Structure 1
């Protein structure tokens, strides 16, 4: 199996892709038929954010043109079920008022827009700043719903429920013989296992005995910040590079939003992994040290690298864009000054992928953390993360943490700085 097929397989297993193109087609077709039914329209009133988005599309010439281009059959690979942006808005309106059921479909808004992202019209439009402002308003509305008790409707043991046998098996698949309730803090005897909302369930905590800190007494050790699969390790990273071209070089100035700390990372090392959609979503300190700065960088949500446009859908071009996303997507930067001077400054970067874009820090500037301490969390699903190290921190990455698709256990030892 070649590199590309391995990556797609890992991405599918992580829940970012539907189980099959047929399942994707069936899902979109079902949604498209449902939203035009009179009973549905009575049950799901059009949200103010959707009305505002429609007005924005139709009053902004370049956006109006872009939405028509991305749904032009001659120019895209769009599903036959969604021929026009009006139907997209109707489906989006439904998605924003329902918690996602467990099943064979990935992140729902991404599944809706995946075809549109894969053409020039989609790229040109989804990169626009004002458009992404509207997406943020919609996702802020979704966040309120996900944090409410009403979102618990999918926390059940029946078909499509997150406590059904197949769902619980998937949620605990990376934890050996441990069951879901042995892995995560919950109460199976309580309603909804004790979770107050769907977001409360998705940002669940590990039990204290799960994922212990490896080599806790060795200050030269680098720990895993997230439960993720390895995407890429790059060394000698440049200050500025052509991050939108094939090969995906990293471009520090763009990744770090022109921060004053950029010079410290020139020629350094980048370690990037992606989280499972249904996985553990809290982040932990890779080293002991002091939080120097926390910054939220607004950016895109559904922007695909131009180097991957028009690739066959089965090749999942979005998975080949994760380095690109580090320079353009909404993200949070946490700068951590390690106690160990051989490690020095580290940037922990949490990047939103598609609608999974809400990052929350649970630490403050000036706070000291030990390796393995919690730094924050993603809300509403998994995403991708990057660790950036200085050139002077000569890191040797361990076996099991240095090859594409390696399953990286949070708080495990992924490498160490070399002694002088």
Structure 2
């Protein structure tokens, strides 16, 4: 029998959740509880029918009693942790209806910032035993991807721009300007909505080249970072087949991570550098080496599944889940054959975490890329990045992080900054 979950364990788990670490959920958990209570109230008052994407999930639950019972149990378990959230499946569906038409809002008070609405809705469900099973359910994840796609379409539309203003609590206001270093990015402060066509256009706004200079442009032995972020860890000797990935040591299973490309076996025993993107980071990714794109794939996967300890709430589960999520979450696979034979092939694996709206790959097989060329972007969503190298090819120039402790305080990396060199 599972041990009772204490308030201290829930608080520790929340502090290490991906959303909180990424800056999309507030430091004060009470703000999430107040937000959940308000969302539940509005969900109960909603009288319209479901939006099409949520209706598909409702229909799935109507046909799959086992899944419907699992949702019911997950909601009940979550209510034991916070009794002001959604009370049943219908309220959860109505809450998702509301989310699909809501843009993330900026708040001056860091304790009130709820930038990840689905993470805020699901945060207690994710901490339960039933939720551990629920968020791995393949059909549920398929339906949830449809809901997230609908939300992304809203965030891609002009309707989402109502949060893009220069008022005190607007994304273009002075506080946000300083926090998110908007001076580094291309936008037009004199224009309505900053000149952005949508919220997503703001989220993956392009950066000014002078703020990410490519000092290694003519050094063929250098590897540059594909993204802005912080080092999660450097993991040597990654194996193709790992029997158990749901452990804190987080072995990377290349058989799982690399999609259909795993059959090639090019990266067996290779090295992985994983980094973590926060909400303030630049959310486009760039080529780490000069070369030719040999392979491109987008792998659909999970969204809200985290590591789970059957005996208690693991306080480090959220941030320690990033290696696990690289194996099972929605992700991209881009293999580049470097023009430097000493570097060999490099695999770029952008990983969607929690609110995955989009992993957009903008290169095709056969394209030639130069270090610093843009190769893709995240639309609104949590995100992590893995670079996979063939064994014995590179020596890293960034601190390796720790295998047992992963937080949001790793060494910073920046697009076009050198992270490794050919041996």
Same fold (TM > 0.5): yes
Contact 1:118 1:310 in 2 (8 A): no
**Counterpart check, 1:134 vs 2:143:** yes
Distance 1:75 1:62 in 2: 20
Show CA shifts across 1:338-387 (max 9, x none): 11111111110011101224111111110111111111101114411100
Show CA shifts across 1:238-283 (max 9, x none): 1111211221111111111242555211111010011112421100
Provide the residue aligned with 1:343 in structure 2: 343
**Equivalent residue for 1:49, pick from 53, 70, 79:** 53
For 1:352, what is the secondary structure of its paired residue? strand
Distance 1:308 1:189 in 2: 54
Distance 2:143 2:169 in 1: 30
**Equivalent pairs, count:** 399
For 2:133, what is the secondary structure of its paired residue? helix
**Counterpart check, 1:87 vs 2:72:** no
How far did residue 77 of structure 1 move? 2.9
Contact 1:126 1:132 in 2 (8 A): yes
Distance 2:316 2:23 in 1: 13
Provide the residue aligned with 1:176 in structure 2: none
- Give runs of aligned pairs for residues 356-395 of structure 1, distance below 5 A: 356-395=356-395
| Distance verdict in 2 for CA 1:252–1:9, change over 3 Å | closer
Provide the residue aligned with 1:63 in structure 2: 67
Distance 1:85 1:160 in 2: 33
For 1:163, what is the secondary structure of its paired residue? coil
**Counterpart check, 1:169 vs 2:198:** no
For 1:105, what is the secondary structure of its paired residue? coil
Contact 2:19 2:116 in 1 (8 A): no
Provide the residue aligned with 1:413 in structure 2: 418
Distance 2:72 2:321 in 1: 24
Contact 1:304 1:321 in 2 (8 A): yes
Taking structure 1 as the reference length, the TM-score comes to 0.89
| Distance verdict in 2 for CA 1:213–1:56, change over 3 Å | same
Contact 1:244 1:307 in 2 (8 A): no
Provide the residue aligned with 2:120 in structure 1: 111
Distance 2:232 2:280 in 1: 18
Contact 2:298 2:332 in 1 (8 A): yes
**Counterpart check, 1:285 vs 2:293:** no
How far did residue 25 of structure 1 move? 0.9
Distance 1:288 1:47 in 2: 45
Distance 2:57 2:341 in 1: 49
Distance 1:301 1:260 in 2: 22
| Distance verdict in 2 for CA 1:11–1:261, change over 3 Å | same
**Counterpart check, 1:320 vs 2:320:** yes
Distance 1:263 1:121 in 2: 36
| Distance verdict in 2 for CA 1:10–1:383, change over 3 Å | closer
Stretch of structure 1 that moved more, 25-34 or 338-347: 25-34
Distance 1:152 1:16 in 2: 19
Provide the residue aligned with 1:246 in structure 2: 248
Show CA shifts across 1:131-162 (max 9, x none): 11111111121122111111101001224321
| Distance verdict in 2 for CA 1:367–1:210, change over 3 Å | same
Distance 1:384 1:46 in 2: 32
Show CA shifts across 1:10-32 (max 9, x none): 97453143221111111111212
Unaligned regions of 5+ residues in structure 1, if any?
173-179
For 1:209, what is the secondary structure of its paired residue? helix
Distance 1:74 1:48 in 2: 26
Provide the residue aligned with 2:273 in structure 1: 271
Distance 1:79 1:342 in 2: 58
How far did residue 84 of structure 1 move? 1.9
Contact 1:203 1:280 in 2 (8 A): yes
**Counterpart check, 1:154 vs 2:163:** yes
Stretch of structure 1 that moved more, 51-60 or 70-79: 70-79
**Counterpart check, 1:19 vs 2:24:** no
For 2:336, what is the secondary structure of its paired residue? strand
How far did residue 189 of structure 1 move? 0.7
For 1:72, what is the secondary structure of its paired residue? helix
| Distance verdict in 2 for CA 1:171–1:92, change over 3 Å | same
Stretch of structure 1 that moved more, 198-207 or 254-263: 254-263
Show CA shifts across 1:93-138 (max 9, x none): 1111111111312411011112111222112122122111111111
| Distance verdict in 2 for CA 1:269–1:11, change over 3 Å | farther
Contact 1:291 1:365 in 2 (8 A): yes
Taking structure 2 as the reference length, the TM-score comes to 0.88
How far did residue 306 of structure 1 move? 3.2
Contact 2:19 2:25 in 1 (8 A): yes
